[in-house]
Amino acid sequence: MKPKVLIATTQRWIPTARVAIALADAGFAVEAVCPSRHAFGDTGAVSHIYGYSGLRGTASFDAAIAAALPDLIVPGDDLATQQIHTLYKQAQRKGKSGARICALIERSLGAPENFRYLYARTEFIEIAEHEGIRTPKTEVIRDFTDLKKWLAQSGFPAVLKADRSSGGDGVRILGTLEDAERALRTLQAPPLLARAAKRALIDQNMTMVWPALLRRRSVVNAQSFVAGREATSAVACWQGQVLAGLHFEVLKKLHPTGPATVLRMIDNVDMSSAAEKMVRRLGLSGLVGFDFMLEAQTDRAYLIEINPRSTQVGHLALGLGRDLPAALYAAVSGREVGPAAKVTENNTIALFPLEWIRDSASAYLQTAYHDVPWDKPDLIRACVRARRKQSAWYSQQGRLQAFSMARPPRA
């Protein structure tokens, strides 16, 4: 009998659908809990979908777990990870009646005593420093006086990051004191009710409603700016051990603080060592990502943050030691399995649909391996439909025409 994985997500983020396909191809039976109209339904890989309510997020996950009885949970976004951790605390308080779900979450995500470090950026960096990992200076900022003092010592440019934020929403690059004051005020403030209402009514995303209503303020951290190139790692891990890893230099992004759209696979000892040390120190299991900066003059890698969930590159099968779903399946099932065939020999990868959204005329769509799921036409159509609604991001007719002319790339 196939081991069952439940993918848990609070967003309609297309890369989670790609992860579902990869996990199914690796041998898992896949079910999902997600908002309505998620692209999971267009993959052919997900056997059952449970509804997610942003107003009852933790309860949604609890109900889905009780119905699915999975062997493993894979969160697809940061908020999903946070809510699963909250569910662990709730189950822990129930004693014996919550023991089963506690065991499942520990098995899926790792050591619960370390969960809090996954969201506290400064504490995470302090742990990395203790492990001998190169990191930028990072410090919690309580008010503008703190920030001015920190900037006087560290200088410009600098970076501000809010805890429990993702997708670049909680990141600001500072160039002046005026930038700094404005950014700190914005990042600390609770979400605007109008923005939360727009997300709920237009995007069917309820995740900002409670923070807006309860006026929750964010913890903000200052981080030294590392001049250089961005890089990212994705790993499959089990009980504190890295099973497989992918390491990339970021070539293009959707926007300056947004997700990567084009990457080049690299071998970087600093990155792989940092991932192994942090996975071991935090006792992690499942699919995890790490972000780095590669210093311009030296190429030395600086660890800047963790993504405690599957990332947009986690579905890529790139050979021995570089197939995350296959490695995770082997750990869960106890069976020896080989990696899937490499999807390409090209080290440069343009992620679909992100690079197409960024620039439908991008040269990378021709020169890189364009990661289009050609065998999943329903998923491709779902991507096109989703992007039609976001006319501010691209000219609809021009991009659809460019995509219709595309041909399946050669590996």
Say yes or no to pLDDT of 400 above 50. no
CB 299 within 8 A of CB 65: no
- Which pLDDT belongs to residue 406? 47
- Tokens standing for residue 42: 């267009």
Nearest-angstrom CA–CA distance, 407 and 112: 47
Band of residue 216 on the pLDDT scale cut at 50, 70, 90: low
User: Closest by alpha carbon to 147, among 134, 136, 161?
Assistant: 161
Nearest-angstrom CA–CA distance, 336 and 330: 6
Say yes or no to pLDDT of 52 above 80. yes
Distance of CA 179 to the CA centre of its chain: 27
Kind plus residue range of the DSSP H or E element containing 302: strand 301-307
Higher pLDDT pick, 155 / 3 = 3
Say yes or no to pLDDT of 197 above 70. no
Nearest-angstrom CA–CA distance, 38 and 36: 6
CATH superfamily of 137-224: ATP-grasp fold, A domain (3.30.1490.20)
Q: Which residues pair with 6 in a beta bridge?
A: 31, 73
- Region 1-9 average pLDDT: 96
Rg of the Cα trace of the chain?
21
pLDDT in tens, 99-152: 999 999 999 999 999 999 998 999 999 999 999 999 999 999 998 999 999 899
Kind plus residue range of the DSSP H or E element containing 130: helix 121-130
- Which pLDDT belongs to residue 188? 83
Say yes or no to pLDDT of 207 above 70. no
- Region 318-346 average pLDDT: 91
Say yes or no to pLDDT of 407 above 50. no
pLDDT in tens, 15-33: 899 999 999 999 999 999 9
Residue 343, φ and ψ in degrees, nearest 5: -75, -20
Say yes or no to pLDDT of 392 above 60. no
Which CATH code, of 3.40.1350.10, 3.30.470.20, 1.10.645.10, 3.30.420.40, is assigned to 228-404?
3.30.470.20
Measure Cα distances from 216 to 53, 187, 336 in Å.
Answer: 20, 11, 47
Residue 251, φ and ψ in degrees, nearest 5: -100, -35
Higher pLDDT pick, 163 / 297 = 297
CB 220 within 8 A of CB 162: yes
Q: Is it true that 4-109 and 137-224 share their CATH fold? A: no
- Which pLDDT belongs to residue 351? 96
- Region 274-300 average pLDDT: 97
User: Closest by alpha carbon to 222, among 120, 122, 305, 128?
Assistant: 122
pLDDT in tens, 366-376: 999 999 999 99
- Tokens standing for residue 322: 């570089």
User: Closest by alpha carbon to 76, among 99, 49, 103, 113?
Assistant: 49
Domains of the chain by residue range: 4-109, 137-224, 228-404
- Which pLDDT belongs to residue 248? 98
How far the first Cα of the chain sits from its last, in Å, is 33
Nearest-angstrom CA–CA distance, 287 and 303: 18
**Segment among 62-76, 186-200, 305-319, 323-337 with least mean pLDDT:** 186-200
Q: Which residue has the tokens 């999971």?
A: 40
User: Closest by alpha carbon to 172, among 164, 184, 163?
Assistant: 184
pTM of the model: 0.87
Considering the chain, what is the average pLDDT of its residues? 88
User: Closest by alpha carbon to 20, among 33, 36, 10, 35?
Assistant: 33
User: Closest by alpha carbon to 311, among 326, 294, 324, 301?
Assistant: 324
- Which pLDDT belongs to residue 401? 37
DSSP readout, 13-45?
-HHHHHHHHHHHHHT-EEEEEE-TT-GGGGTS-
Q: Does domain 4-109 have CATH number 3.40.50?
A: yes
Q: Give 98's DSSP letter.
A: G
Measure Cα distances from 129 to 134, 193, 305, 307, 315 in Å.
Answer: 7, 38, 12, 18, 30
